[in-house]
Structure 1
């Protein structure tokens, strides 16, 4: 068992560098369904170290829960005592390592409290998490960098019209302007702007992200008239070319390993533009990142352009196993103060992704906390 716990004098007992841990208790809270693969990578780590996996999710049918050893109740992020509940669960279940995604900023701001109880975090510093949570603040922090494409932010109809006028010369048939929230996950809210309405082929085809300019203006005008607050919206040119995600394991601003994944339609490859891992490492240093992060690039004017930086593991992180590295396990070792060993990814693997089947064992089973409480005569969870 990892020994980084409070001793009787209240002092943290950290493991000596280089000392092998015998077993690790790891908790991953609410995240993408593909996190099921990360749990399997942790379980089948190359060091052969036994792990006990905890997961929590608001959806009882999440495959994360099926892949873990124990299910914890997922604290509600919007509750004022969210972090206190996270701390209590870590203490109650003797969690060695926590990888927070839901409520990451709140956890990061209380990182010192997790250290006190002996739970290591796989998480960047709070300041970086907060900046990177907003695409506009990310671009502002990189003002003057050649990686930042032209962009504007609008939260009123007037600002939207001004943004369109400023970027009009960049709007072409092949590369339209796009509209997206400055804060969001994945492609949620991303729309391609069109000067005309849909044609018959568009109406009969699959639903897509195309939206007419007049439709957007009408929606914004209606929101203003109704007194509805309009969230900050980013207007920018569509960034063409293949998209490359660089998955990075970082330690206090230093890149320990960077694995690029490039997708072009269905085709995917471990690799891509050889400049991108270096550019990702520079961004990791600039924001003093730590843990598992993801940097996404496309291109603008035939040069690399930053799409976004995620302060959390990407949904496709499991694909890096094709490079011969186990980034989730390496992140656990780094969090515990251990040497992650040689991390030499092999590039070049071509692949596609397909859906898979995950068996759900008793999806309605109550979380482990509820079961423990029910089994305790006093009604209080046992230690």
Structure 2
């Protein structure tokens, strides 16, 4: 009997995860449900049933999720939207027989969702404070403190950037440049994350107080994502994925990053699947963030010969029985081409999409 699995409001690359789960080597059968605010979200075309989500959040969204699971008899829920709040309400899903692919440690989830709290955890933990390097940073919430933070970091010799304390991916990230914004940038450089200090300062002055910003040293080396598969404190696989120039990605047997992953795993014990992001500065990897979910680029790491989305589902369903040690194939280089996806009109015009 097919198990019903639901992805809510995911990245477009969830299409890869859906395919890897559906076409697994064991022949385990799944019926995939997908929801999004956007009826043209590409990953919905990879689902067996697609639905439009209501534009709600918080406790209202939890009620929607529970109702959706009951109506469609969902067996497995793979949340992205509101995953911290879902972790806090995990018992409600367990009561209706739904397995949720989320870290059950809600306080840890909340901490990892906050970049300042994550860095403080690294600084204060007896093991992690020596195992994990973090960038120089200062938290600000008004224009004058932003100016002071920028000046202090510049005096240390750093290039300076900033980003929201709570945010996902590169949303809100800006690199502060010394010179004013120029006509060359306007006409020739396209979209970029650069902003002059004067422009940033003037914009931030528009509000007396704004949501916390992390002002920090800009790290100029290579960026890596380390995709991890773990259960019950046992690290089954860790795959450092180097983000090269342009679209180049390389799976690297990097002893320093593999040890970092093991130290974080042994300490935090995040189950199932998660991602550690670091960037190098002067030969030292410094932590950007830890995401206790599947990363947007996880499909690249699966080129190491491990179907990580499916394996995470097995861990959720079978627990310790599904623990297996893997030997990833490192040295794999990859890139990607834009690929057209013809949206299934027969799906989007049918009753499979329902406004709930």
User: What TM-score, normalized to structure 1?
Assistant: 0.84
- Residue 4 of structure 2 is aligned to residue 28 of structure 1: no
Q: Paired residue for 2:174?
A: 191
Q: 2:281 is matched with which residue: 283, 296, 300?
A: 300
Q: 2:164 is matched with which residue: 148, 164, 181?
A: 181
Q: 1:164 is matched with which residue: 144, 150, 156?
A: 150
| 1:262-297 deviation digits (Å, cap 9, x = unpaired) | 012122211153211221232233333122211011
Show the 5 A alignment for 1:61-210: 61-78=40-57, 80-124=59-103, 125-143=105-123, 145=129, 146-171=132-157, 176-205=159-188, 206-210=190-194
Q: Paired residue for 1:381?
A: none
What's the secondary structure of 2:135's corresponding residue? coil
Q: 2:310 is matched with which residue: 316, 329, 339?
A: 329
Q: Paired residue for 1:265?
A: 245
Q: 1:268 to 1:370 in 2, by over 3 A?
A: closer
| 1:17-68 deviation digits (Å, cap 9, x = unpaired) | xxxxxx3221111110011111010111010111111111110001121001
Q: Paired residue for 2:342?
A: 359
Stretch moving more, 194-203 or 72-81: 72-81
Hey, what's the Cα distance between the residues in 2 that align with 1:301 and 1:280?
A: 20
Hey, what's the Cα distance between the residues in 2 that align with 1:84 and 1:204?
A: 48
5+ residue gaps, structure 1, are 2-22, 374-383
Q: Paired residue for 2:295?
A: 314
Q: Paired residue for 1:288?
A: 269
TM-aligned CA deviation for residue 138 of structure 1: 0.7
Q: 1:47 is matched with which residue: 26, 38, 52?
A: 26
- Residue 200 of structure 2 is aligned to residue 219 of structure 1: no
TM-aligned CA deviation for residue 252 of structure 1: 4.0
Q: 1:34 to 1:281 in 2, by over 3 A?
A: same
Hey, what's the Cα distance between the residues in 1 that align with 2:59 and 2:351?
A: 21
RMSD: 2.1
Q: Which of 1 and 2 has greater Rg?
A: 1
Q: Is the 8 A contact 2:237 2:325 kept in 1?
A: no
What's the secondary structure of 1:247's corresponding residue? strand
Q: 1:341 to 1:77 in 2, by over 3 A?
A: farther
Q: 1:308 to 1:272 in 2, by over 3 A?
A: farther
5+ residue gaps, structure 2, are none
Q: 1:342 to 1:203 in 2, by over 3 A?
A: same
TM-aligned CA deviation for residue 364 of structure 1: 3.6
TM-aligned CA deviation for residue 367 of structure 1: 5.8
Hey, what's the Cα distance between the residues in 1 that align with 2:175 and 2:44?
A: 36
| 1:196-254 deviation digits (Å, cap 9, x = unpaired) | 21344323222321111111111122222xxxx41111111111211110111222443
Q: 1:74 to 1:203 in 2, by over 3 A?
A: closer
Q: Is the 8 A contact 2:226 2:261 kept in 1?
A: yes
Hey, what's the Cα distance between the residues in 2 that align with 1:320 and 1:150?
A: 29
Q: 1:278 is matched with which residue: 259, 263, 275?
A: 259
Q: 1:318 to 1:77 in 2, by over 3 A?
A: farther
Q: Paired residue for 2:16?
A: 37
Q: Paired residue for 1:8?
A: none
Q: Is the 8 A contact 2:51 2:353 kept in 1?
A: yes
Q: Is the 8 A contact 1:320 1:326 kept in 2?
A: no
What's the secondary structure of 1:358's corresponding residue? coil
Number of residues paired by the alignment?
Answer: 344
